[in-house]
Structure 1
């Protein structure tokens, strides 16, 4: 898709004829045209977190294509401009400014990652641009004072609480170590784990870190192995976490490995191969293979139509849900489509039934879901949803 910069020159290039400054000023809102609405996304499409950005984009596009096939939303088709940030904050900043200032997008959707969201969100907040469905459970994005931020998924605090609850109650584990990415993402996970442990009068037996966009986990593994943990909880994307687990198996570290949803479950299983059996991943969306849930059945159909080669997965399902919320909310906007109206509509409507899965918002609640789901990797690399952990 070609996106022209807004203004008189673009109008002339597009063959719309002469247009006055008054006409330009009168046009609704940035990114809103008579026949389309333009959205932007900055995410990782290359590097160790690429599967996450690609999955989110694939899911969002599936939902947009589905809506566009029946005329879009009130006659406007939905379009997405995506730029690669490589999971690096500085690139996310540049992309965000480009999307807002040059592409003139209506809203940003599907940002991927805590450090990148931490960099991009202040820019969108200052500009009054909706920041919808970031792929992160970071607590700072749940601050109700951020009126332009709309979250879909549960928080990392909710995921980490579920980790410690199931490890202690289901398995009787007391010796827990953590591996985390040494940045705002990893520290958000560490904070959640620490709170969950303190709640139970427990402390971590060891901590290990690695740098973002690397798989340099050997030093962390050796430090954690010395402590003899019964479980290692992990806060990172799929490549370094897979590297850690494979090396841990070679060193005969007999522990339960538990990963956060951001890891990218399907990509993790693929990276692990035969080392994946028994690895736990918490999820914040329903099981993407459970077509008894209307949302999931609709997602699978839309994904295959948009891309016949696409594989169903947790990440693209989350992207699809982001797109569905946008579509549902736009359809309920009364009057002109503006950024402010979209945001107020989400808060005022409050409840959005996506088909067996409900998102709920309120004046001081910008997070749609609270559920955390447990999954375990099988020997063949597939996932099994479970209600409790078993050895």
Structure 2
């Protein structure tokens, strides 16, 4: 009922705009401020993702505000803790739109909330910039004016890429330089949820393209069933494993593979490029993940310095938090979300247009937008594809030696490439 009333209210407001002057703004915009918001998990299991993500958003907005804002307007940010719960996420998103009157949803967070609110966002027309998930519902081939503007790679694309890497990269054998044997089987562990099924759809699509459907073995997993599923893959003598899961299942799946002594190359999603999820003493030897952020190029290094400066200058962070965030992939994601949103504001200002939902979306569709530390995203022509090319990272762990502490990292082993480039190997 609340959703219906919200849509009716906005439709009435839209009718009223027909007779208004050009000076009238949409909600969340005054002469001096732009109010935006999101809902995110800041307690519970996903707080390790939501807290640094939101803190980085706030850090970038603080930098912008201290420099005078965009076109004379500072950015105000409202966020609610949805605890990674779809019902909470929907309720808080309605609150942001209806009661808080935000201009846009920035860094719309997590699979449950994003999945539960996509219909509402499109019905209302409020800009949504950067979804902190890659569910396939975010993909639109040609949808000019669509307010949904994802940046992260869509999970279907993610699944295709990790499958192409598993099949085409020479990372097998004793020295890690051999091709996958022609008739080798590949195991796929997936969670039976939006994330797992979205990635699995990409795996299946790529397996079909490569004419290898019969060589893939699929097992759904939970924390309680993963050990049994891994044993089934071991019985099938799989030569590689794809983990179509997100952070928590990624961790327990790695442990299960280790416990079963199934030590084959593992390929997984960009969302798992986080060392805190890996137990280095209970994990397979070769762990690979996709990555759409590249901090190793000259441009990437420049963006890293800008990110570090934003985090380092954040007035609300402790020194301990700042140090932790400098290498935190979720903080980097929040930084990117804020920078992409700001690019749209700057384009509207450069066009000398009034800031409205429509003018903002048009500006975002003008052409490709450089993504800090990672290529570009292109919304022109109504494309809502997210980023469609990624690099490949490998997990490395160095044990402590004397006074030198142990270290771990995901390091780049392949450059950013498209699916077609990987398939051609």
TM-score interval, smaller chain: 0.7 to 0.9
Deviations 1:228-267 (A, max 9, x none): 2211111222222111111221221122121201235243
Corresponding pairs, count: 363
Partners of 1:289 and 1:60 in 2: how far apart?
23
**Which residues in structure 2 correspond to 1:191-202 (within 5 Å)?**
191-202=201-212
Partners of 2:298 and 2:85 in 1: how far apart?
34
Identify which of 310, 320, 323 aligns with 2:335: 320
CA contact (8 A) 1:290 1:297 kept: no
Cα offset for 1:315? 2.4
Q: Which runs of 5+ in 2 are unaligned?
A: 1-19, 171-178, 398-406, 416-421
Instruction: Return the TM-score normalized by structure 2.
Output: 0.78
Identify which of 49, 52, 71 aligns with 2:49: 52
Cα offset for 1:27? 5.8
Partners of 1:355 and 1:85 in 2: how far apart?
28
Partners of 1:126 and 1:88 in 2: how far apart?
22
1:284 partnered with 2:283: no
CA 216–100 in structure 1, closer or farther in 2 if over 3 Å, else same: farther
Cα offset for 1:289? 9.4
Query: What's the counterpart of residue 15 of structure 1?
Result: none
CA 237–288 in structure 1, closer or farther in 2 if over 3 Å, else same: farther
Partners of 1:289 and 1:80 in 2: how far apart?
32
**Which residues in structure 2 correspond to 1:343-382 (within 5 Å)?**
343-348=361-366, 350-353=367-370, 357-367=375-385, 369-379=387-397, 380-382=407-409
Partners of 1:249 and 1:323 in 2: how far apart?
38
Cα offset for 1:345? 0.9
Cα offset for 1:355? 5.8
What is the CA RMSD across the aligned residues, in angstroms? 2.8
Cα offset for 1:291? 7.1
Partners of 1:316 and 1:55 in 2: how far apart?
5
**Which residues in structure 2 correspond to 1:1-391 (within 5 Å)?**
28-143=25-140, 144-145=142-143, 147-171=146-170, 172-173=179-180, 174-203=184-213, 204-210=215-221, 217-263=226-272, 265-269=274-278, 271-272=279-280, 275=283, 277-287=285-295, 293-306=301-314, 307=317, 308-309=322-323, 310-333=325-348, 334-348=352-366, 350-353=367-370, 357-367=375-385, 369-379=387-397, 380-387=407-414
CA 371–229 in structure 1, closer or farther in 2 if over 3 Å, else same: same
Cα offset for 1:156? 2.3
**Aligned partner of residue 29 in structure 2, secondary structure:** coil
CA contact (8 A) 2:127 2:149 kept: yes
CA 35–58 in structure 1, closer or farther in 2 if over 3 Å, else same: same
Partners of 1:290 and 1:113 in 2: how far apart?
31
CA contact (8 A) 1:51 1:264 kept: no
CA contact (8 A) 1:85 1:92 kept: yes
